[in-house]
Amino acid sequence: MTREELHRYRETGVEDCEFSTLPVIRKLTVDRTLPRAQRLQALAQQMGNPYLFQAQGLAVKVSFSGKRTLSDALAASFHTP
């Protein structure tokens, strides 16, 4: 994913997406035997836009503040060591 794609994803709002196209967070799978970087890459490939997904029937948009990278924030969110 390029910086430009990531910026475009970050700027996309829930209202700009078709609900049925958003990934369902509970259905995402990651092989925990892979190294951290590969797990995050696999997760990003399944999600497409890492800022938008479905959770419990709701469209969710996440944003991150502070100095953490998206990878660090996702790792913390999904409790990956």
pLDDT at 37: 86
∠ at Cα 11 (5, 66), nearest 5°? 95
Residues 13-63: pLDDT tens digits?
999 999 999 999 899 998 999 998 898 888 888 988 988 999 999 999 988
The contacts of residue 1 (CB under 8 Å, 6+ apart) are 9, 44
Contact status, residue 40 vs residue 49, Cβ threshold 8 Å: no
